[in-house]
Amino acid sequence: MELVVDSNVLNDPILEQFLLKSKNNKAVLIDFAQIEAVKAVNLNMLRERIEPLSKYASQVIILKSTKLVSGMSGRTKGLKRRLVDPKQTKDFLAFCKQLNGNATIDITQQNLIMRGAGETKTYLDKMNANLCDFIQHYEEFEKKFTSNEILEIRKTGYPSTSAIKKLFTLISGVSGEVFRKHPNAHKWPKNHEWPNHFIYRRTVFNFIHFLEWIKKGSPKNMKIDRIQNDMIDITFCSYATYFDGLLTKDKKCHKTFIAGNDMLKNILIPALEARK
C-alpha cells in the first residue's frame, strides 16, 4: 500500500506503525511534506523530525515538485511512475544512512534535500501572494448559481442536479485556464486525459472547498493562515488520488479526500473516459 503522508504525521507513531506493518507499505512524500521535514536548525533536530521515515527509508517514495507535476502529460500509461522523483528517493535513502551514523554526512546530499524544500517554499510564497483574491474568486463562482441552488446546498449539504452540471463546467473551465497559463504545461490534453492531470484534480478539490464555503454561509472574512492550510491540505488530497490514499490525523482533510476521490473515480473519470 502506498499512502501520501500528511505533514502532521511525519513524526507520529501512526506513520511508524504503518511502515512497520509491511515492507510493501510505502510512505509517499510530496514537496510540502519535505518543508516540514527540514525545518530543523541542526542535525539532531532533523533526526528527531524524520525519525520514523529515516528508520524505514527504503519504504519512502519522494515525488517531483508540484511545479513539475503540474505540467506532466495526462497519458494513463505510466501515470503514477511519472510522479516519482527517482533521484530524490535514492538520495533520501543515502542521506538517512548518513543521518543515522551509518556513513559520513555528505554535505552535498544534505544541501540537495534542503534546496528541494527551499524551492517549494518559494512556490508556497507565490501561492500565498494570491490568497488575497481568494474570497473574490469564490464570490464570482457563487454568482453562477441561482438562489435556489445555493439554498439547496446549505440545507442538504449537497448540490442539486443543475448545480452539479454548473460545477463540472466550472471545473473544466478553471483547470483549462490554469493549464493554459502554467509555464510547465505544453501539449493540450485529450478529453479523457484531463482527469489524470494534477491541475484538474487539484481544481476538483478546490471546488469541494468552494462548496464547503457556501455551506458555511459564504463568509466574507477568512484568516489568511486558515486559507493557506486549506490549500495545502487540498494539495495533499490531490496527490493522494494517484496512490492508495492519504495518511493523516486531520479528520477534515480526510473527509475532503474521500469526497474528491469519490467524485473523480466514480463520476468524472468514467464520464470523460466515455468520450475517447
pLDDT score of 244: 96
pTM, entire model: 0.86
What is the C-alpha end-to-end distance of the chain, expressed in Å? 30
pLDDT score of 103: 47
DSSP 77: T
C-alpha cell at 33: 511534506
pLDDT score of 82: 94
pLDDT score of 74: 85
- Is 32:6 a contact under the CB 8 Å cutoff? no
pLDDT score of 199: 94
Residues ≥6 apart with Cβ < 8 Å to 192: 272, 273, 275, 276
pLDDT score of 268: 86
Residue 83: half-sphere exposure toward Cβ, Cα within 13 Å: 25
* Residue among 265, 258, 257, 253 nearest 196 (CA): 265
pLDDT score of 91: 84
pLDDT score of 81: 93
pLDDT score of 229: 86
DSSP 268: I
How big is the chain, counted in residues? 276
pLDDT score of 7: 85
Residues ≥6 apart with Cβ < 8 Å to 53: 10, 15, 27, 29, 37, 60, 96
- For every one of its 276 residues, what pLDDT tens digit does the chain have, with 9 covering 90 and above? 999 999 888 888 999 999 999 999 999 999 877 666 655 545 666 677 777 788 898 999 999 988 889 888 888 889 999 999 998 888 888 878 777 665 454 544 455 455 555 555 565 566 555 656 788 889 999 999 999 999 999 999 889 999 999 999 999 999 999 999 888 887 888 888 899 999 999 999 999 999 999 999 999 888 877 888 898 899 999 999 999 999 999 999 999 999 999 999 988 888 777 666
* Residue among 86, 41, 40 nearest 63 (CA): 86
Residue labelled with grid coordinates 533520501: 92
Order of strands across the sheet with 246-247?
60-62, 26-29, 2-5, 246-247
pLDDT score of 1: 96
